[in-house]
Structure 1
Amino acid sequence: AKLATDYIKQGQDTIFVGFNQNFRIVVAKTAVTDITTVSIPANASAPRYRAINLDAITVDTGLSGQCSNGVLIGEDGEVQALWLNYLGERTSNLHKDVEYHLGFATPSLLPVLSKVQQGEMPKLRILNMESYVVQMSQARIMGVSEEWIEKVTQANPSRHQLFMVRKVGCQPPGFNSAADTFEEGDIILTLDGQLITRVSELDIMYEKDTLAALIVRNGQEMRIRVPTVPTEDLETDHVVVFCGAVLQKPHHAVRQQISKLHSEVYSRGSPSYQYGLAPTNFITAVNGIPTPNLDRFSEEVRKIPDNTYFRLRALTFDNVPWVVTMKKNDYYFPMSKYIKDRSQPSGWRTVCHDKDKYKDGIALDAANLNPDAIDEGFDGVSDIDPDLE
């Protein structure tokens, strides 16, 4: 199908084609009711990826709420927008996930698709911040001059708006930049000299390490250089399984919701929950030794003998420090790593640790585990909780 290169507009006629709940194709001639900038609400209990800085399209048909996917097309068959399902927050009373059905204009896909069509793997960069719309009445109060308000009116006659920084995410582990950063409450006027009144105009960030930004901060205009973040640094490429806990670097959704990265050792949840090591905790130290990343964590826990108690210092997602005492058991929960490796058929390489330490040369075989195995220990190794010694 041919993708539209011009953005669909409010009030424009379109044809909605979608799959309903019965997986049947439904079609309706309709019109675009609104195009507005939205951010999908965060899920506080378990951070997960959500769409931000998004221009969402809504249409005047009841079928839009019944279909989780589809397209908006013109009379000539040109695809004007994709109809997508966005996962939102989890309701506290019904314990159900809220889903949003919204349209996404196809011209926003073209910068990425063009590289794919050329046989390139897109390596994009993004601004690590979440923004929301500010109307001109509020912008004037916050210090935007009449000159800039007039420029906004001319640049975007249909929607007189600017963008304010709502949240600045944590930078990826190991990211260093001498550039300045946005602060919450900044109003963005221009990026690299281009006036920003539409989300689509943020696309200039994709291939630049830094951007020259003109902002209004605390009522004053300022010029700063802001860094962009490579999207490949946002992917999970290293997972450690230890004592039943699945640990990884904090993924993008976590960094979207916190202001400070306490550690690169982040718990996803697992059998270790019985010790109180719940999902969304950050592990900051093992037996008092700091573990800022997964490699340092693996190094320290390998020093702990089997069937021995040890302490983890942790921090909850809402910044409450605490200490958990656990007992290492290499028979039931041996430590292993999963590392992203494109040379492997599955795309991941598995590394198992301490196979040579098992008593009597017992191999790792989950199918042959027996109740007596938990009582097997090593001579000279303490089997008493350190709190009781």
Structure 2
Amino acid sequence: MLVVDSSIVTQFLTMESLLDESVGSEINLQIERGGTPLTVKLKVGDLHSITPNHFLEVSGAVIHPLSYQQARNFGFKCGLVYVAEPGYMLSRASVPRYSIIKKFARKDIAHLGDFIAVISELSRGERVPLEYVTYTDRHRNKHTIVTIDQRGWYATPQLYTRNDATGLWIAKSAMLLESPYVVSIHQRGHRDVNSNVDENIAVEGTVSSSRDLDDIKGVSRHSSSMEGSSLAEQVIKPALVKFEVCVPPICMIDGVHAKHFTGAGVVIFLHPFHNFALVAYDPSTLGVGASVIRASKLLTEPALRRGDSVYLVRLIDSLHAKSRKSIVTNWQAVNICSSDFPRYRAINTEVIELDTDSVIELSGVLTDEQGRVQALWASISSQLFGCGKEGDHQFVVGIPIYLISQVLEKIISGTPGPFRLINGIRRPVPFVRLLEVEIYPTSLTEARSYGLSDRWVQALDEKDPERRQVLQVIGCFAGSKAETLLEGDMILAIDKKPITCFLDIENACQKLDHSVGSDGMLNMTIFREGKEIDLIVGTDAIDGNGTTRMVNWCGCIVQNPHSAVRALGFLPKEGHGVYVSRGYAGSPIHRYGLYPLQWIVEVNGQPTPDLESFIETVKVLEDGEFVRVRTVQLNGKSRVLALKQDLHYWPTWELNFEPETATWQRRTIKTLQRVIHSTNGN
């Protein structure tokens, strides 16, 4: 480039000044290409017009027009609908960061307004196709199914627009109040509890199939897809539903039936110890697919033993049921060490091992020859340390079906408990009584070395000659009613009856619910420091809901400590109801160093022992105010820091789960209401 509009250009600053003065006009350029002088006429564009000044936030995703910087990097046209952050809804559909959305709900998406118009016409819970392209595979469009967020964890879609007068991004609702997306938030229809809908199909896996084995054999003669399959595979296939491997208590779950019907699932119970969740899905929502669904039969007795033959039946990716005959090789207690941060892990659970490759991470069920379920073949998560194998590790084992049936039978029989809306029907979900203590078996040989008497060694051996073990306390959950037990205690008997396995303790806990005047107390005989001691030990009733309330303040999520935190055996004496479970990047707590895995015990000198007192304290704080916070870490150390509150970008809000409606309710506690007079037309 030699000349710009008759001005010789030798510096970038001069060229930029000439271009700035000619925005929207045409300029003449004299250039030299390959030794040949050329004169060209170009129109000068406005850099602001191709720099995004607005973005959409929906279900945690950030979507905006493609900026000229990224358009230059990717070789795409400016202004396309660009996924800067997939958030929750899009990440569930495997839409990666930096994608370009081409179609949504079968409608072309040319700019952000098109995307907003389409999603505003969709109701929460709808499943619609989405077409996108990535810059790494730009010549082939990809397709996926997106489930519109239906749980109410996020606010309605917000459109943020930059205000050049103040430098702030101003948020407003991206949708009208009468749009189907907004209306569906308040119209989550519930089935009449007095309706004549067959409740036996409302909860997956809770009833026996009405079909007998002769029916199954008849199907096998007429269905080519069943040729060559085992009888167990034929029986269990109509009951198989494929869900995600990891099921947190607050999530959206999509299940795929073996007959290729898709339905939404809802977690109704999460066991704190045994690594299983009860997920309900409503077969009636599948339309014609409901006629092919059959509930599996559960076989709790006799319990599986070493040498027993079982069929491992599972759904592969093509949704074909595959079975394999296997032999039970071992029963053993699962031993998962604590991870580097508190998270859910299976404890106090005996699992089944098979003569199969344990690295096969395909979940399924273990059945007998008649297809009756004896165990879940489930994935368990742990964390490895040392030997160059650090990181998450998954392995699969069998979880005895009687652990699941104990809870299912209570739900089916209507055992008294707090009501929960399950597939539109109000059902009582009972409390499960547990001894909140982490226990692991110790061999009788080792127990004898600790000084356990020959009398007790013989009694325990006679009670269970196969296991030959005694249960030893690893630690007690902080805040539980079983705190009279200490680390290292050996549990010998309950009500003078020898105890040798986890099931003995659980059965003793369940009997308390039917005992008059028990007050949830167990009469235990333990061995502590060389002495036999009789103790009264309390038990706890667990509802299985998990976390049901959380507060977002300055970008941190605070809640009551979950069971994995309590399992560490420590709670601050100042108060333990405001536990920081996570924080958001770029938020005030991130800038000022209020990191997760600690408790907030004071705010501006005011004690905050629980969420209610915390909310009352922070809701009077103003935007831009510096706040003094005292925390207690997991190691017990106290720390004081100050942070500056930002209510414009980080308002204070809370989420509450309402079991009776099976919905999450989001409530704004405090936000900043600004009135901004725009000077740039935005």
TM-score (norm 2): 0.49
Amino acid corresponding to residue 157 of structure 1 in structure 2: P
Amino acid corresponding to residue 313 of structure 2 in structure 1: V
Task: State the partner residue of 2:635.
Answer: 318
Task: State the partner residue of 2:581.
Answer: 268
Alpha carbons 1:239, 1:337 under 8 Å: kept:
yes
Cα distance in structure 2, aligned partners of 1:282 and 1:77 = 49
Cα distance in structure 2, aligned partners of 1:281 and 1:12 = 47
2:200 aligned with 1:200: no
Amino acid corresponding to residue 410 of structure 2 in structure 1: K
Shift of 1:193: 3.0
Task: State the partner residue of 2:376.
Answer: 82
Where 2:617 maps in the other structure, the secondary structure is helix
2:310 aligned with 1:14: yes
Shift of 1:324: 2.0
Task: State the partner residue of 1:102.
Answer: 397
2:627 aligned with 1:282: no
Shift of 1:261: 4.1
Task: State the partner residue of 2:673.
Answer: 358
Deviation by residue 1:229-273 (Cα, 9 ceiling, x = unmatched): 121387322211111111101011111123334521111222322
Cα distance in structure 2, aligned partners of 1:107 and 1:342 = 26
Shift of 1:180: 6.2
Cα distance in structure 2, aligned partners of 1:216 and 1:57 = 29
Task: State the partner residue of 1:34.
Answer: 330
Shift of 1:41: 2.2
Shift of 1:22: 6.8
Task: State the partner residue of 1:150.
Answer: 458
Structure possessing the higher relative contact order (Cα contacts under 8 Å, 6 or more residues apart): 1
Cα distance in structure 2, aligned partners of 1:108 and 1:308 = 52
Change (3 A) 1:22 1:277: farther
Deviation by residue 1:321-351 (Cα, 9 ceiling, x = unmatched): 222211112221111121222344x522222
Change (3 A) 1:233 1:3: closer
Shift of 1:305: 2.1
Change (3 A) 1:168 1:67: same
Amino acid corresponding to residue 380 of structure 2 in structure 1: Y
Alpha carbons 2:476, 2:483 under 8 Å: kept:
no
Shift of 1:300: 1.5
Cα distance in structure 1, aligned partners of 2:463 and 2:545 = 34
Amino acid corresponding to residue 347 of structure 1 in structure 2: T
Where 2:567 maps in the other structure, the secondary structure is helix
Residue 663 of structure 2, aligned match among 347, 350, 361: 347
Alpha carbons 2:382, 2:393 under 8 Å: kept:
yes
Cα distance in structure 2, aligned partners of 1:274 and 1:192 = 56
Cα distance in structure 2, aligned partners of 1:42 and 1:233 = 22
Cα distance in structure 2, aligned partners of 1:250 and 1:102 = 29
Deviation by residue 1:32-63 (Cα, 9 ceiling, x = unmatched): 1110112322212x21111101101100022x
Alpha carbons 1:212, 1:225 under 8 Å: kept:
yes
Moved more, 66-75 or 233-242: 233-242
Amino acid corresponding to residue 116 of structure 1 in structure 2: I
Matches within 5 A, 1:98-177: 98-120=393-415, 121-171=429-479
Cα distance in structure 1, aligned partners of 2:403 and 2:670 = 49
Deviation by residue 1:286-310 (Cα, 9 ceiling, x = unmatched): 1222211111111112232221111
Residue 654 of structure 2, aligned match among 337, 342, 360: 337
Change (3 A) 1:207 1:282: farther
2:570 aligned with 1:254: no
Amino acid corresponding to residue 89 of structure 1 in structure 2: Q
Residue 191 of structure 1, aligned match among 483, 486, 494: 494
Shift of 1:76: 2.7
Residue 531 of structure 2, aligned match among 201, 212, 220: 220
Change (3 A) 1:142 1:242: same
Cα distance in structure 2, aligned partners of 1:151 and 1:129 = 24
Unaligned runs of 5+ in 2: 1-295, 416-428, 513-519, 677-682
Amino acid corresponding to residue 235 of structure 1 in structure 2: G
Where 1:333 maps in the other structure, the secondary structure is coil
Deviation by residue 1:166-210 (Cα, 9 ceiling, x = unmatched): 0111126xxxx6x76211010001123331112211222135311
Change (3 A) 1:106 1:136: same
Cα distance in structure 1, aligned partners of 2:545 and 2:626 = 34
Where 1:269 maps in the other structure, the secondary structure is strand
Where 1:206 maps in the other structure, the secondary structure is helix
Shift of 1:19: 3.8
Alpha carbons 1:240, 1:335 under 8 Å: kept:
yes
Task: State the partner residue of 1:372.
Answer: none
Cα distance in structure 2, aligned partners of 1:113 and 1:343 = 19
Moved more, 260-269 or 185-194: 260-269
Shift of 1:111: 2.1
Aligned residues: 353
Shift of 1:140: 1.3
Alpha carbons 2:489, 2:526 under 8 Å: kept:
yes
Task: State the partner residue of 2:365.
Answer: 71
Amino acid corresponding to residue 39 of structure 1 in structure 2: N
Amino acid corresponding to residue 669 of structure 2 in structure 1: H
Alpha carbons 2:579, 2:598 under 8 Å: kept:
yes
Moved more, 245-254 or 74-83: 74-83
2:614 aligned with 1:297: yes
Moved more, 267-276 or 129-138: 267-276
Alpha carbons 1:165, 1:187 under 8 Å: kept:
yes
Alpha carbons 1:170, 1:261 under 8 Å: kept:
no
Cα distance in structure 2, aligned partners of 1:194 and 1:70 = 36
Shift of 1:95: 6.2
Unaligned runs of 5+ in 1: 363-389
Cα distance in structure 2, aligned partners of 1:324 and 1:290 = 15
Amino acid corresponding to residue 202 of structure 1 in structure 2: I
Alpha carbons 2:598, 2:633 under 8 Å: kept:
yes
Change (3 A) 1:47 1:269: same
Amino acid corresponding to residue 56 of structure 1 in structure 2: V
Q: What stretches of structure 1 move > 4 A for 4+ residues in a row?
A: 20-24, 90-95
Cα distance in structure 1, aligned partners of 2:669 and 2:499 = 52
Task: State the partner residue of 1:384.
Answer: none
Alpha carbons 1:55, 1:104 under 8 Å: kept:
yes
Alpha carbons 1:13, 1:29 under 8 Å: kept:
yes
Change (3 A) 1:110 1:343: closer
